[in-house]
Amino acid sequence: MTTSATLRPVELGDGIGDGPPAVPGEDGRPALWLVRADRFRAVAARSAASVLDADEQKRAAMFRRAGDRDAYLAGHVGLRMLLGACLGLPPADVPLERQPCVSCRQPHGRPVVRGNPLHFSLSHTGGLCLLAFAAAPVGVDIEAVPAPAVAEEVKAALHPREVAELDALGAADRPAAFTRTWVRKEAYLKGLGTGLERSPSLDYLGTAPGAVTGPPGWAIGDVAVDDGYAAAVAVAVEGESVRVVPERPGRRRTERPAP
């Protein structure tokens, strides 16, 4: 995947059945889809009962705010529809499961399609859902740019070089730069399957727009979304590998194996 240019997702509408979905290409570039909950609400509402499994429907019902429930339904119905179109299966028949957690080995790790090499990732914030599909492990994240005080507080969790870069910016530019860095971290950690079990301070991914120097074995790129948001995708690079080793008691981190 080329990381020098911002990637642009395809927007998913109610015409999903009008043509074949974008699928991962041979160049390793992921297929990216953006789902707007307000535009996909009707499709999701009429399809949820027949498309989502019992656990997904139960989770949807737990959301108290209608907007959060709409975003969840839009993202997960869209995910199953796209996976079904890619795999030639009815959406309800896509066999989803979770890999073992890399920390505790319980079955709440990265979601996968059972027995299939197609990888995917989903992230949503507000009314926007971002989906990624790839032939290798992939992670995606989308976030709204936070208030300056929030960005200032959370930046301490980043790599020291990234904190220094943010401190060198003007106050007005810091929230967007912080969010750009944070979504890169989240996408990468989702791709690894660790989530925030691996500290965001361990890997330098940079704060500037444009090219991203990812950790060995990973390609990371920014994704173009609406103003006021930032998004990124991380894809494992073929021929490289990573392994999980202890970071400190009770936590784990990921490293490239020695040659």
Domain assignment of residue 172, yes or no? yes
Domain assignment of residue 63, yes or no? yes
Domain assignment of residue 210, yes or no? yes
**Are residues 83 and 65 in contact, defined by beta-carbon separation less than 8 angstroms?**
no
Domain assignment of residue 14, yes or no? no
Non-local CB neighbours of 234 within 8 Å, separated by 6+ positions: 138, 139, 140, 184, 187, 188, 190, 191, 214, 218, 219, 220
The parent domain of residue 88 ranges over: 21-255
How many structural domains compose the chain?
Answer: 1
132: domain CATH number is 3.90.470.20
Q: Give the predicted TM-score (pTM) of the model.
A: 0.85
**Are residues 31 and 95 in contact, defined by beta-carbon separation less than 8 angstroms?**
no
Domain assignment of residue 34, yes or no? yes
Domain assignment of residue 78, yes or no? yes
Domain assignment of residue 73, yes or no? yes
Given a cut of 50, is residue 246 above it in pLDDT? no
* Structure confidence by residue, pLDDT tens digits, 145-158: 999 999 999 999 99
Domain assignment of residue 164, yes or no? yes
* Structure confidence by residue, pLDDT tens digits, 72-129: 999 999 999 999 988 889 999 999 988 877 767 766 677 889 988 899 999 999 899 9
